[in-house]
Amino acid sequence: MVENLAKRAQLPMPKVYIVDQPQPNAFATGRDPEHAAVAATTGLLQMLSHDEIEGVMAHELGHVKNRDTLIMTMVATIAGAVSMLANFGLFFRDRNAGIAGIMAVLIAPFAAMIVQMAISRTREFGADAAAAQISGKPLSLAAALAKISGEAARIPNPVAERNPAASQLYIVPGGVRQMFSTHPATEDRIAALQAMAHGGGANGWSSRPDEIGDMTRLRKPSALDPTR
């Protein structure tokens, strides 16, 4: 499956991993398409149909194609640097700086976080659009998002809980309040995918039944077999 999607996206074949984790989720990583990897949890593979898994993997390949993992790493690094500098500024502040100077130091980390979240949300919409083009099945990705969003919020993810910054890697963050989420609202993402399916999207492509073909439903982790 992943190999076929990578060919459609004109990408090198990424490494494929299955994470033994009950929370249904997936993510991509790597500094560029030549050093990329995509992963899905066992919870996701057990929950979704073949078409839905294909939509999710196409989303992750969309991140790879758009170089989002590198961009978001850079953004996160800059945001972290701003926060660190603000902390130094607060600790070593000039006593004559006044209220305005103190407020600037306090507001800077919050502003950096807002910018980081805004960029991350934009990249998620872009990866959804790329997935729709790569797989030709925007409604499959929409169905997958609808299924896994509720379960991802209900089932804990120890990695994201230990390191909240890792939540931006996943297709859905899980357990994060929307105001501070690195992802758009799932309802907005589903609505955008439905609009693409019914209206052809901004690039004029369409998803027709004859483009989907006959797909079987898989019930085991072999759904990510690169040769499928």
Q: Using CA atoms, how far apart are residues 165 and 180, in angstroms rounded to an integer?
A: 11
Considering Cα of 63, then 19, then 141, then 163, what sign does the dihedral take?
negative
Q: What is the DSSP string of 8-35?
A: HTT-PPPEEEEE--SS--EEEE-SSGGG
- Indicate the SS3 state at residue 182: coil
Per-residue pLDDT of the chain (228 residues; tens, 9 = 90+): 999 999 999 999 999 999 999 999 999 988 889 999 999 999 999 999 999 999 999 999 999 999 887 877 676 666 666 666 666 655 555 555 556 555 556 665 666 566 566 666 788 999 999 999 999 999 999 999 999 988 887 888 777 667 666 667 788 876 555 545 667 889 999 999 999 998 755 443 333 333 333 322 333 344 565 445
For the chain, give the number of residues: 228
Catalytic residue selected from 54, 60, 124, 161: 60
- What backbone torsions phi and psi does residue 117 show, to the nearest 5 degrees? -65, -40
- The DSSP secondary-structure symbol of 39 reads E
pTM of the model: 0.71
**60 classed as catalytic:** yes
pLDDT tens digits for range 164-219: 666 677 888 765 555 456 678 899 999 999 999 987 554 433 333 333 333 223 33
Half-sphere exposure at residue 226, Cβ-oriented, CA atoms within 13 angstroms: 13
- What region does 211 belong to: left with phi over 0, alpha with psi -120 to 50, or beta? alpha
> Is residue 148 within 8 Å of 175, Cβ to Cβ?
no
